[in-house]
Amino acid sequence: MTAALFVFYVLALVTVAAAVMVIAARNPVHSVLFLILAFFNSAGLLILIGAELVGMLLVVVYVGAVAVLFMFVVMMLDINFVQLREGFLQYLPLGALVGLILLLELVMVIGTRAVPTTVAAMPQATPPGVNNTEALGRLLYTDYFYLFQAAGVILLVAIIGAITLTLRHRPDARRQDIAAQVHRRPQDTLEVRKVRPRSGI
């Protein structure tokens, strides 16, 4: 057994175990921590096959942003998870049916995939003499340039929509009005009174 194969088996085993613990852990904070562990090991598998950029993006984007965001949402919101799990048995048959359909689809996809018998027959991920980052950049900014830009526009619209939907103007909340502060006059806010000695205002 080579060193690369040993590392692959270790990373794959830890990834599968962490993914199982994400859905098996009772504490949601522990689930997020196991999710971060699964992301790190998945990034290690991507680096092992030569996709360094995708592996680093997985760590930076998902671990650095999404998983940490999940952690803060779970820890800051006082969610009653006992109440959320009350209807679990009611939707268990439907969830089991959907899971079975997805499992059958995965078996069909894996079963029809052509597995090369030798290493030489395996297709190369990048052209010879080109690293992974350069090959991915050439592909995104040449063949899929318009689709890449369209995906960026869709994400921008989604961000604006999410901010618009969650922005609530409450009448009792005090907000800063910069225009009113700039146009404020001293006579509107200040009052000069003549105070006599030994007497209050």
Which pLDDT band holds residue 149 (cuts at 50, 70, 90)?
very high
Q: Are 32 and 77 in contact (CB under 8 A)?
A: no
This prediction's pTM: 0.54
CATH code, domain carrying 79: 1.20.120.1200
Question: pLDDT of 58-73, one tens digit each?
Answer: 888 887 777 777 777 7
The tokens for 25 are 């852990």
Phi, psi dihedrals of residue 13, rounded to the nearest 5°:
-65, -45
- Pick the residue with more confidence: 161 or 132? 161
Choosing from 84, 114, 141, the residue where a domain stops is 84
- Residue 142 resides in a domain: yes
H-helix segments, 78-144: 81-84, 92-112, 132-138
Domain span at 25: 1-84
The tokens for 13 are 């085993």
Calculate the average pLDDT of the chain.
Answer: 78
Q: Are 75 and 49 in contact (CB under 8 A)?
A: no
- Residue 119 resides in a domain: no
- Residue 189 resides in a domain: no
Question: pLDDT of 9-37, one tens digit each?
Answer: 888 899 999 899 888 887 777 888 888 88
- Residue 31 resides in a domain: yes
Question: pLDDT of 96-120, one tens digit each?
Answer: 888 788 788 767 766 655 544 554 5
- Report pLDDT for 36: 85
Q: Are 55 and 47 in contact (CB under 8 A)?
A: yes
Domain count, the chain: 2
